[in-house]
Structures are given as C-alpha cells and as structure tokens.
Structure 1
Amino acid sequence: MRIAVAGTCGLARAIAREIQEGTSHQLLVLSRSHQPGLLSQGYQCQVVDYNDPTSIQHSLMGVDTVISTVTGNAQLRLIEAAVACRVRRFVPAEFEGQPGLRSANDPLDRGKSAALGMLLHYGAYIKSTVFVCGILYERFLPNGMISQRIGVNTGYANEGDYIVDARNMMATAPVYDAGGNLSYLCLTSAYDVARFVVKALDMAHWPAEMSMCGERISVRALVDTIQTCRGKVYNYLAWQNVEGLNYELRMAQHTNDVPRAKKITTLVATAEGKYDFATPAYLNLQFPDIRPIRFQDWFLSNWASVP
C-alpha cells in the first residue's frame, strides 16, 4: 500500500520510521516545508499547502491510507482531499483518550470533533478509525514533549505542564474522581503507538476505535513512581480531586489566565477518567507479540542523566 503520513512531529516521525524500516509499504511524508533531513535519510517527502485543495489532492494521488498528525482546518482540508482522491482509509489526529468522552465545547478539542464529524459524513466513501492510546509518555520528557515537536500548539507541551514537574519535584496530582475513588489513566510511548498503528495497517477490517496501552496506572502510583525514579522527595505536592480542580479552573478563567486554564483542564480530564479505558486494550490483544515498554523503565532511561 501507499501510505501518507501528514506531519513531521515526533509521533509522525516515529510512525513514518516504523513504516519505512519495518514494512514493504510505500511511504510518503506530507509537510508544510522542505525536509532535507528526512530526504537525506531516504524518505519520500512532499511539500503541501493545506490552504490549496489542488496541492493536497496532487500529493494524495495513488495513496491508499492517510495517517494525520495535523489538526484544525488543515486536517479538514486533508480529509476533503482524501475523499476527492478516493483514498480508502483515514486516521485522524487523535492519539489520546476516547473521543466519546470529550464534552461539548471542550477547550482541548482543537478541531478534532469537527474532523470526526466530517469523516462520519463521508463514511460511505472513506473508512476511518481512531487510535486511542491515553497519555503519551513523552509528556514527561526532560524539556517536555515539545522537545520532540509533539503538541506544539496545545498549550501544555512543556516540561512540568502535566501533573509532575520532575526536574523541580513539584506536582499537582488529580488523584480522586468525583466519587472519591482513585483516578486512573492509560499511558503509551510514542514508539509503541507507532508499532501498534503500523501493525494495524494490515488489518482487513478497522473498527471505529482501536485502543492500545503501554501501562494503566493510578495517578497516585504515577506520582510515586516518578519520586522513586528520581530518588528525591517532592518540594511541593498537591493531592487534588475534581471539585478542587474545577474551582481552580474557574479562577483561572475569571482572571483570563488561558495558559493556566488549559493545564488545569488536562488535570480535570484526568480526574474524570477521560484518559482511561478498559484493559486489556484492543490492539494489545490483537498483537500480543508487541511488548510495550513500562513507564518506569522509560522514565529511568530518559531521566538518568538529569540531576
């Protein structure tokens, strides 16, 4: 098959690398700008103008499947072009929690619901699936997931923006849900997401959603794991529940502190279980030969040299 990966962020590159090195599929990387680094590594790249339908359609000629990591209007134009070019399958830029758990007017949506609505509208002409992976391990990278150009425009991609600031040992942990129960979340590394996604390319049938999970863990256990790995005691640690977080969110909104409001919204979503799903995950069952890396092992390997 000819597979087009739209975007060049860290996740897109991981998926592209897995296709290029592990399959016989033909790969095309779509980018807004020239990519001499990828070209030098043997990747086929195409510069595309997402404001020009002709440019997108030209890039998608002969493509069987599109995997998108672009959001907003760019993704909507990409879907329209895919339909026009009779692309068989489309993967929207989700790669997080279950879309059905997003609330109306979710500030974290970034046009994702509109893309899903468009794919539903064109469902008779193009098949699609949502890859559900929970939270990417890369949110906890030194220098944040923005260091791999993941989530650049989200407002919560920097180091320490989500739950734990591991460098300064500070945490605001959404430990309890509305019922006072421990909140859980599923996490997966970008590397393992890429492996599962590429394996799924050869599946004859795609359900509406396909989940994967590197590890399912409670927020409390996550915070404790990071403390153990760092070998340091937290300088500041706030255990939070949904009610407390919603109060902080209203205060941030009242003062028009948009950056803080976005970060708190991710914590509220965590406490509400929007990044959690039943295990074992669908793709873990389909491909038991894939052994995802544990969060603790991943964290230790990435923070070993950080004082």
Structure 2
Amino acid sequence: MRIAIAGTCGLALIIAQEIQSKTSHQLVILSRSPQPALIAAGYQCQVVDYMNTSSLQHALMGVDTVISTVNGNPQLRLIEAAVFCRVRRFAPAEFEGPPHLTPTGDALDRGRGLARAHLQHYRNSVQSTVFVCGVLYERFSVNGMQAHRIGMNTGYGNEGDFIVNARKMIAEAPVYSDSAGTMANICLTSVYDVARFVVRALDMPQWPAEMTMCGQRISINALVELIKTCRGRPYSNISYQTPDTIRYELSLAQMSGDVNKQRRLLTHLAAAEGRYDFATPAYLNASFPDIKPISFRDWFMRNWASVS
C-alpha cells in the first residue's frame, strides 16, 4: 500500500520510521516546507499547501491510507482531497481519549470534532478510525512532550505541565472523579508503542470506528505514588483535586487571564472526568498480543535515569 503521513511532528516521524523499517509499504510524508534532512534519511517527502486543493490532490494520487497529525482547516481540506482521490482509509489527528467522551464545545478540541464530523459525512467514500491511546507517557518526559516534538502548540507540552513536575517534585493531582472520593483512572501509552500498534493496524482488512491501545491503566493516585517511588524523593508540594476544585481554579485562571494555566487545568479536568480512561484489554492489544507495550514504570525509569 501507499501510505501518506500528514505532518512532521514527532509522532508523525515515529510512525513513519516504524513503517519504513518494519513494512514494505510505500510511504510519503506530507509537509508544508521542504525536508532535506528527511529526504537524506531515505524518506519520500511531498511539499503541500493545505489551502490549495490541487496541491493536496496531487500529493494524494495513488494513496491508499492517510494518517493525519495536522489539525484545524488543513485537516478538513486534507479529508476532502482524500475523498476526491478515492483514498480508501483515513485516520484523523486524535491520539488521546475516546472521542465519544469529549463534550460538545470542549476547549481542548482543536478542531478534531469537525474532522470527525467531516469523515462521518463522507463515510460512504472513505473508511476511517480514531486511534485511542489515552495520555502519552511523554507528557511526563524530561523536558516534556516538546522534547519529542509532540504537543508543540497545545499549551501543555512543557515539563511538569500535566499532573506531576517530576524534577521539582510538585503535583497537582486530579485523583478524584467526584466529590464522594471515587478514584479516577487513566490509560497511558508510550508514543513508540502507539506507532507499533498504528502500523500493525494498516494491514487489518477493516477498520472499526475506534481502535483503542494501552500501555498501562492505573489510578491517578497510584500514578502519582509510582512517580515518587521511581524518583526516590518525597513531594515538596502536592494537592489532590476533584472536578469541583479544578473548576474553581479554572474560573480563577479565566478571571486573571492566565491562558496557560487554563489549558493545564482543562487537561486535569478531562483526566478527573475519565476522558482518558477506557476498558482494557484494549482493542489493538487484544488484536496483536505479540506487541508487549512498555510499562509506565520502566519507561519512566529509563527517561529519568540521568536526572538527579
């Protein structure tokens, strides 16, 4: 098959590397700008203008499957070009929690709901799926997701932006899903395991509407304690949050105009409300039992091994 990956973020390139090294599929990377380094590394790259219909249609001629890591209007135009070029399958830029748990008008949506609606409109022309992986381990990475060129424009891609600052040992932990003290759970997956599952799914004859994958499902309280154990240090400051306390802090951040804090709190609210949680074993884990995802503990110990 000829596979097109839209975007050159870290996730896109990790998936591209998995396709290039583990399959015989033809691969083209769609980019807004020339990519001489990728071409030198053996990748086929196509410069595209997402606002130019002809540019997109030219790039997608002969493509079987599109994996998108671009959002907003560029993704909508990409979907339309895929339909015109009779692309068989399209995976939109999601890679988080189950989309049916996302409320209408969610501030973290970044146009993904419109993309899903677009694909639903064209469902008789192009098959699509949403890859659901929960939260990426890399949110807890040294130097944050941005160290992996992921989440560059989300507002919560820096080290310590999500739940735990493991360097300073500070935590704002949305451990409760309600005021009654029910523990909130979260599903997490390493971006490298996401790539492994996505690439294996390319050979599936049919794609369901959602395909879940999971490295580990854990309560947020246990996750916070696990990070403390891995670091071998107590927290210098820790606060435990319920959805109500997060909403109160969010209202204060809105009144003060602190946009970055609003975005961080919105991700905490999503975690507390269970929007990153789903049943395990996940669909792709069950479909490909030979793929053994790395545990969060092992990933964290490797990632933070050189940090005192």
- Partner Cα separation in structure 2 for residue 306 and residue 123 of structure 1: 48
Show the 5 A alignment for 1:274-289.
274-289=275-290
Show the 5 A alignment for 1:88-237.
88-178=88-178, 179-237=180-238
The alignment partner of 2:241 has SS state of strand
Letter in 1 for 2:174: P
Which residue is 2:260 aligned to?
Answer: 259
Note the C-alpha offset of 1:211: 0.2
Letter in 2 for 1:71: N
Aligned residues between the structures: 307
Note the C-alpha offset of 1:136: 0.3
The alignment partner of 1:176 has SS state of coil
- Partner Cα separation in structure 2 for residue 144 and residue 37 of structure 1: 24
The alignment partner of 2:186 has SS state of strand
Note the C-alpha offset of 1:250: 1.2
Note the C-alpha offset of 1:285: 0.3
- Partner Cα separation in structure 2 for residue 74 and residue 149 of structure 1: 19
- Partner Cα separation in structure 1 for residue 38 and residue 26 of structure 2: 15
Structure 2 unpaired stretches of 5+: none
Note the C-alpha offset of 1:109: 0.1
- Partner Cα separation in structure 1 for residue 109 and residue 20 of structure 2: 31
The alignment partner of 2:278 has SS state of coil
Letter in 2 for 1:58: H
Which residue is 1:2 aligned to?
Answer: 2
Letter in 1 for 2:158: N
Note the C-alpha offset of 1:82: 0.5
Which residue is 2:294 aligned to?
Answer: 293
Deviations 1:93-133 (A, max 9, x none): 00000111111110100000000000000011000000000
- Partner Cα separation in structure 2 for residue 169 and residue 272 of structure 1: 24
Which stretch of structure 1 is more off in the superposition, 288-297 or 233-242? 233-242
Note the C-alpha offset of 1:55: 0.8
Deviations 1:164-218 (A, max 9, x none): 0011110100000114211000000010000000101111111000000000011
Letter in 1 for 2:149: R
- Partner Cα separation in structure 1 for residue 144 and residue 48 of structure 2: 28
Show the 5 A alignment for 1:35-114.
35-114=35-114
Note the C-alpha offset of 1:52: 0.9
The alignment partner of 2:217 has SS state of strand
Structure 1 unpaired stretches of 5+: none
Letter in 2 for 1:102: T
Q: Which runs of 4+ in 1 moved over 3 A?
A: none
TM-score by length of 2: 0.98
TM-score by length of 1: 0.99
- Partner Cα separation in structure 1 for residue 74 and residue 278 of structure 2: 29
